[in-house]
Chains A and B, each alone.
Chain A
Amino acid sequence: MLSDDELLRYSRHLLLEDVGKTGQEALKKANVLIIGMGGLGSPASLYLAAAGIGHLVLSDFDNIEVSNLQRQITYQSDDIGESKVEVTKRKLQQINPDIKVRSINKAMPEEQLTMELTMADLVLDCTDNMAARQMINKACVNAKVPLIVGAAIRLEGQLMFFDHSHADSSCYHCLFPDSEEQTLNCSNSGIIGPVVGTIGTLQALEAIKYFVGLPSGIKNKLKLFDGKSLDWQTFAINKDPKCTVCGQH
């Protein structure tokens, strides 16, 4: 049940036939794990807190640095040196005191991630390195937890949704089987803030749609965003039967 305060706070959701009271109550019950509180995790967590996702778990091991402030919009100059998850938690609670926010101020080892997944309905991969992305994908496949993956560098973004609650879902490893760190990241390639912000924002949108029961147009698909032309390309990701993570091995 929604309180009078909640009916007012979420009135713009409640006006939507696609959300309504049922959808808002589903958001309130939802548990979302967001891994990485950088350029993706900033807008994703702000929007999900504002939208009334009832339980948010935030994971990151970094402290805020001055070079983060160009794009990681949760943070301000006063926050430099503080823990990203603690600052984010405080700000999310200021935006929405009705939700529960828990912070994990460390790089989670696989066992802890697996434990966290027993409590998560959905995971957002907002990390900045390939090793973490591969570990999160594998854990979500094994735990059958849906995973929304975002990534961005320069003026390019990538967005994917793998619903691991369905056994026939493809996975991140079907698309990118390499775990070596030869890939591109923000520290070695640069990034423009609104590009990574666009992708993080869309991760939040897909999460909200998932809980209110709207179909996703990007399951088992890769969306590539070109920040120069603003063009999107869409590719189907078929399950690889030989995938060492989600296949028959």
Chain B
Amino acid sequence: MKIHVNEQIVELADNSNIEQLLTYLDKPLMGSAIAVNQEIISRSHWADTILNEGDNISLFQAIAGG
């Protein structure tokens, strides 16, 4: 299936969850936040959130600066 990650198209196996997406993208789990279709998915739900064709994923890092 095709999904959008930060506006880039990514081809991913059907029924993949968020943890599998991050592993596939080789992104660290620590310090990352992820939103599916403009809704933040809490870390505790990354393993049980299944992605769907056409989902818009936003992946970004916590920033602490101020």
Contact = CB atoms under 8 A, between A and B. Distances in A.
Contact of B30 (A41, A178, A222, A238): A178
A117 to B, nearest CB: 19
Dominant secondary structure of chain B at its interface with chain A: mixed
Interface residues of B, number: 20
Interface in A204-249: 222, 224, 233-238, 240, 242-243
Interface in B11-45: 28, 30-31, 33, 35, 38-40, 42-45
Given A151-B65, A174-B40, 10 more contacts: A152-B63, A152-B65, A176-B62, A180-B31, A183-B61, A200-B66, A224-B60, A238-B39, A240-B43, A240-B44
Interface of B: 28, 30-31, 33, 35, 38-40, 42-45, 58, 60-66
A236 B38 contact: yes
Nearest to A187: B65
A175 B64 contact: no
Question: Chain A: interface residue count, which band?
Answer: 35 or more
Interface centre among B28, B31, B39, B60 (most CB of A within 10 A): B31
A153 B60 CA distance: 13
B16 to A, nearest CB: 21
Contact of B40 (A126, A237, A242): A237
Contacts of A234: 38
Nearest to B60: A224
Contacts of B60: 224
